[in-house]
Structure 1
Amino acid sequence: MSRSAGRSARSEDSAPSDPDARSNGPRIGSDISSNFPDGGQASAGGASLDRAGAKDAPAATIASDSRSNPRNSDPRDILLDALRAALDAVGGYRSVHRRLMQEASIEGPCAAFAVGKASAFMMAGALDALGDRIEKGLVITRHGYAAEVIEPGWPVEVVESSHPLPDASSIEAGRALIDFLRRLPPRTTLLAMISGGASALVERLAAGFGAEDLARVNRYLLGSGYPIGTINRVRKRISLIKAGRLANFIASQEVLNLLISDVPGDDPKVIGSGLLIPHTAADIDTGEIDLPPWLTTMARSAPDLPPAKTMDSIRSEIIARPADARAAAAACLRKAGFDIIEHPEILQGDAVEAGSRIGRMIALAAPATVHLWVGETTVRLPPHPGRGGRCQSLALAAAREIAGKTGAYLLAAGTDGSDGPGEVAGALVDAGSIDRGQSAAPGSCPDRSLRAADAGTWLEACGDLVRTGPTGTNVMDLIIALRARSPASTERSFHAG
């Protein structure tokens, strides 16, 4: 759409300024397929784009299947309602739009850039909130994540890059970002928007080092056995832009840096490797790490950290957190009549072990009880892994424990809509998942599937995969374990009122 069409669609006469007031209602099913259709579907947690010009507020619109219930009393539907509520609460469009509608300091022309898996949606929210005040924009995101979000005619350049592993496109994206910043007039107000995935999507190394060097670094670090904190410290040490060094390329006197957190503890230094966050020398010190000489040379070639004066003009705020998604899901489930137990700790560790533990917990839980977590587990990969990521592995492991336990359900989904390779967000399993999988593929074995890191194949066979497409956010994974009411009490609950 044209810029004029987009701005007129955002006028006070044509649409409410509060995106919550315009959200579309969900159509819920067990297989979430979210896209931007001409007929009104929207991406979960993202902006619904009308090809005629108007952009609606974010809402999850999810195709129903035969298991749906008009009273929405099916536990599977209730869980998917909770997922939709979580994604809506932390959506990149909604979070940025809401924050900028409260921002009084951005009065004149400004520029904006967004980096991360939610960047296209964040930019759309900024454009809706600030209108023609944004004269120039740059979006750096994962391949395919800006499709149908950033419209032709908007003053926004889109650069697609690599995720989860950086490659030559990450180096080129870093070049594009630095060029964008260098070309801004000195007094331009700058809006920065950072979300999960930025660390891989954008990179720039010191002069003399390029894509081959970056690939060599990643091969070494991934095979080193170092903990993730050490790996990230090395990556920051060798970078021209991580650890706040991106500020070296900014001449603006005022910068507003909006962050969506995808990390435990919501540490701004960790979100996107802290592109615009002040660091100390200790934060990137690699002196005690036993690095090979070639990597030590790269570390010594990186520039110093920006002086404090350079960082003084940058205001950084976290506008969406994993806990926000968990709380929104909990509120949705509480309204449905469930007793809620929110686990404040971040769920980490081996996915199969975590799924087994949660499965045993919910198998013994009282009726009408829900447990919720956010986190990111890990999967042990064999030499030739199959399909499926950590959420699918966790869900299949839980399915083994709740097999035959009527009323037990578990949903595990990546809030970015991606769980491992492919376009699957996660899975929703129940007491019959194991039986359905074995009926669909006689001779199959869930234990064997888990050892082969092939949970996705099993879960597809039993119809338990969850798909959202790009959600417009990234706040780790959401895990919900539910024990349903007895059928009689469920019926009474949803007839009441």
Structure 2
Amino acid sequence: MLQHTTPTEAREALLRIYQKGLSRVEGRGAVADWLQQYPLTTPVRMVAIGKAAQSMAMGAREQLGDAIQQGLVVSKYGHIDHRYCRQQGWRTLESAHPVPDAASFEAGDALLELLNEPTSTPLLVLISGGASSLVEVPIEGVDLAFLVRTNEWLLGSGLDIVSMNWVRKGLSRIKGGGLLNWLHGRKTTLLAISDVPGDIPAAIGSGLLTPEPQLQQRLETLTLPHWLSEKLMAGAQQRVVRVPQDEVPPLQIVANLDAAKSAAAEEAEAMGFAVSLRAEFLDGEAEDTGRKLADQVIKGPPGITIWGGETRVNLPSQPGRGGRNQHLALAAAEVLAGVDGCLLLSAGTDGTDGPTDDAGALVDGATLKRVDGLGFNAGQSLTAADAGTLLEASGDLITTGPTGTNVMDLVVGLKYEL
């Protein structure tokens, strides 16, 4: 364990450990490493969709060069360097996340247009988190307003990401393996950065190229509002995948949460900390999880503790500023209040937390003290889902910008001897 750690050094250490986790799963390096190990020997047409789309495409370019004959890159607003992509001759489209917009429909049309072009050139498909909302071709009778209503309901429902993606698949002609109907027998290499528990292929990006034969039965296990369940039943026939199993491309995981956690642990050990790398997946309520983890840090031995996962927040009708990581961190700050030598970082690996430009927050025993006299109440901020406003005032928000990856969230605790 490092000796004579100061509060400033402790915060810097946690941020360094978090950044090391991100670098291990950054899309460019992950894709380049895979293609170096398993080189493609023919020209390809490339499709990259997700928050890490450009980063993954850059990794493909690094290894394949001009063998990429044509490219389509679809990502979240602000996550594409259009000048770079134009220099490669790639078409770029930006759309919305986590709720689709009209540009998501345009991206869906562009995707089908590329796949319908008469050519037998093999495909390289790169998928990362966010693909579910960034590109869409809905079933008949579903328009943008209905999709927005559905996604807004899902994001506040408390359902886990796998269940939410079942619903998204049910309203789509391309999710749940539906996009296979447009491959026309072409050889396809499918690489993904996993943003789902257990790296389940059918759940990553809502399984654009991974069929889910039991989808209807799974939808029937969910408690959904009538207006939504009725539409899902009506669209069952439009979701039929007409491709034999032997033509389904295997999905190759090039980066995931475990890799990020391991890299973070290696960095912490290299810095001289005792490290506890937790295998448990964090998927409960963000507020309860934040309190529990802060308590574990306080009661545990000195050193670094690393968790990963994706917690949930049940949103009020008019939520404030923040996301699940900021919510978790503020709840932890209440438990840590007045305790010296204990900190907790909770942040998304994609650089965004909920509908904000912040990745998360790093709190300590003085977080709430720093906002004394400013009119804040942590409990009220949590009830209003407005953790971000308080954490901005306390100076505890983490802002990274787009990271080129998305493997859910990292949570890192530190207890040090004073």
What is the TM-score normalised by the length of structure 1? 0.77
Summarize the Cα distance change of 1:356–1:149 in structure 2 as closer, same or farther, 3 Å threshold: farther
Q: Which residue of 1 aligns with 2:263?
A: 328
1:217 and 1:340 map into 2 onto residues whose CA distance is: 42
d(CA) in 1 for partners of 2:52, 2:103: 18
Going from structure 1 to structure 2, the CA distance change for 1:395 and 1:231 (only over 3 Å counts) comes to closer
User: In the superposition, relative to structure 1, how do residues 256 and 75 fare at CA in structure 2: closer, same or farther (>3 Å)?
Assistant: same
Could you list the runs of 5+ residues in structure 2 that have no partner in the other structure? none
The residue number in structure 1 matching 2:295 is 360
Alignment CA distance shift 1:296-1:73 (3 Å): closer
Structure-1 separation of matches of 2:238 and 2:65: 38
Aligned to 2:173: 240
Q: Distance in 1 between matches of 2:256 and 2:325?
A: 19
Aligned to 2:92: 158
Q: CA deviation at 1:81?
A: 1.1
1:276 matches 2:209: yes
| Pairing partner for 2:231 from 291, 295, 300 | 295
Give 1:223 shift. 7.9
Match status 1:83 vs 2:15: no
Give the counterpart letter for 1:384 in structure 2.
Q
Following superposition, the deviation at residue 216 of structure 1 comes to 5.4
Cα deviations by residue, 1:439-465 (Å, 9 ceiling, x for unpaired): xx4342222222222211111112111
The 5 Å alignment of 1:477-496 reads 477-486=409-418
2:358 corresponds to 1:424: yes
- Please tell me the residue identity of whatever aligns with 2:269: R
- Residue from 224, 243, 253 that aligns with 2:186: 253
In structure 2, the partner of 1:97 is 32
CA change 1:223–1:412 in 2 (3 A) is closer
Letter aligned with residue 401 of structure 1? V
Aligned partners of 2:46 and 2:123 also within 8 Å: yes
How far did residue 405 of structure 1 move? 1.7
In structure 2, do the counterparts of structure 1 residues 359 and 294 end up closer, same or farther at CA, with 3 Å as the change threshold? closer
The answer to whether the Cα contact below 8 Å between 1:395 and 1:427 also exists between their aligned partners in 2 is yes
User: Aligned partners of 1:238 and 1:459: how far apart in 2?
Assistant: 37
| Equivalence for 2:395 | 463
- Offset of residue 229 of structure 1: 4.7
Change (3 A) 1:146 1:407: same
CA distance in 1, matches of 2:220, 2:314: 30
Q: Between Structure 1 and Structure 2, whose CA radius of gyration is higher? A: 1
Q: Deviations over 1:4-54 (max 9, x none)?
A: xxxxxxxxxxxxxxxxxxxxxxxxxxxxxxxxxxxxxxxxxxxxxxxxxxx
Distance in 2 between residues matched to 1:456 and 1:372, nearest whole Å: 23
Aligned partners of 1:469 and 1:219: how far apart in 2?
Answer: 24
- RMSD across aligned positions (CA): 2.6
> CA 1:71–1:396 in structure 2 vs 1: closer, same or farther (change >3 Å)?
closer
Deviations 1:324-362 (A, max 9, x none): 111110111111122211111111111111111111111
Matched, 1:174 2:108: yes
User: Hey, what's the Cα distance between the residues in 2 that align with 1:218 and 1:284?
Assistant: 19
Q: Is the 8 A contact 1:124 1:150 kept in 2?
A: no
The count of residues paired between Structure 1 and Structure 2 equals 411
Tell whether the 8 Å contact from 1:141 to 1:159 is kept in structure 2 after alignment: yes
- Structure 1 residues 197 and 184 mapped into 2: Cα distance closer, same or farther (>3 Å)? farther
Distance in 2, Cα, partners of 1:388 & 1:234: 24
Q: TM-score, normalised by structure 2?
A: 0.91
CA distance in 1, matches of 2:102, 2:334: 42
- Cα deviation for residue 318 of structure 1 reads 0.6
Q: Secondary structure of 2:235's match?
A: helix
Residues 428 and 464 in structure 1, CA contact (< 8 A), matched pair in contact too = yes
Contact 1:244 1:306 in 2 (8 A): no
Q: Is the 8 A contact 1:124 1:149 kept in 2?
A: no
Which residue of the other structure, out of 476, 480, 491, is the alignment partner of 2:408? 476
Paired with 2:314 and 2:141, the residues of 1 have a C-alpha distance of: 36
Relative distance call for 1:473 and 1:230 in structure 2 (3 A) is closer
8 Å contact kept, 1:117–1:195: yes
Correspondent of 1:375 among 304, 309, 331: 309
2:83 is aligned with 1:185: no
Residue by residue over 1:218-252, the C-alpha shift from the partner in whole angstroms, topping out at 9 and shown as x without a partner, is: 46766888776554334323321111111110135
- The CA distance in 2 between the partners of 1:341 and 1:208, in whole Å, is 51
Q: Shift of residue 159 of structure 1? A: 0.9
Paired residues of 2:138 and 2:172 also in contact (CA < 8 A): yes
AA aligned opposite 1:424: D
Question: Closer, same or farther in 2 for the Cα pair 1:235/1:325, shift >3 Å?
Answer: same
> Which consecutive residues of structure 1, in runs of 5 or more, have no partner in the other structure?
1-68, 487-497
Counterpart CA distance in 1 for 2:321 and 2:90 is: 35
Taking a change above 3 Å as real, the CA distance of residues 482 and 467 of structure 1, as seen in their structure-2 partners, is same
1:115 is matched with which residue? 49
**AA matched with 2:247:** M
Q: Specify the code of the residue in structure 1 equivalent to 2:404.
A: G
Q: By how many angstroms is 1:148 displaced? A: 5.9
2: CA distance between counterparts of 1:72 and 1:404?
13
Which residue does 1:445 correspond to in 2?
A: 377
Contact 2:185 2:247 survives alignment (8 Å): no
Residue pair 2:5, 2:416 contacting (<8 A) in 1 also: no
Tell me the residue number matched to 1:304: 240
Letter in 2 for 1:168: A
The answer on whether the counterparts of 2:173 and 2:239 sit within 8 Å (CA) in structure 1 is yes
Deviations 1:289-308 (A, max 9, x none): 78558515641341422332
Contact 1:206 1:301 in 2 (8 A): no
Counterpart amino acid of residue 421 in structure 1: P
Q: Is residue 248–residue 310 contact of structure 1 (8 Å, CA) maintained in 2?
A: no
Q: What is the letter of the counterpart of residue 346 of structure 1? A: F
Task: Name the structure where helix makes up a greater proportion of residues.
Answer: 2
* Equivalent residue runs for 1:21-60 within 5 Å: none
Preserved CA contact (<8 Å) 2:85 2:92: no
Q: CA deviation at 1:379?
A: 2.1
In structure 1, distance between residues paired with 2:348 and 2:230: 37
Displacement of 1:474 in angstroms is 0.4
- Provide, for residues 61-83 of structure 1, a one-character-per-residue CA deviation record: whole Å limited to 9, x for no partner: xxxxxxxx999981111111111
**Change beyond 3 A, Cα 1:85–1:309:** same
What SS does structure 2 have at the residue aligned with 1:150? Answer: helix
- Select which of 331, 339, 344 maps to 2:279: 344
Alignment partner, residue 401 of structure 1:
335
Q: Quick one: structure 1 residues 449 and 303, their matched pair in 2 at CA, closer, same or farther if it must change by over 3 Å?
A: closer
Cα shift at 1:435: 1.2
Inter-partner Cα distance in structure 2 for 1:220 and 1:464: 29
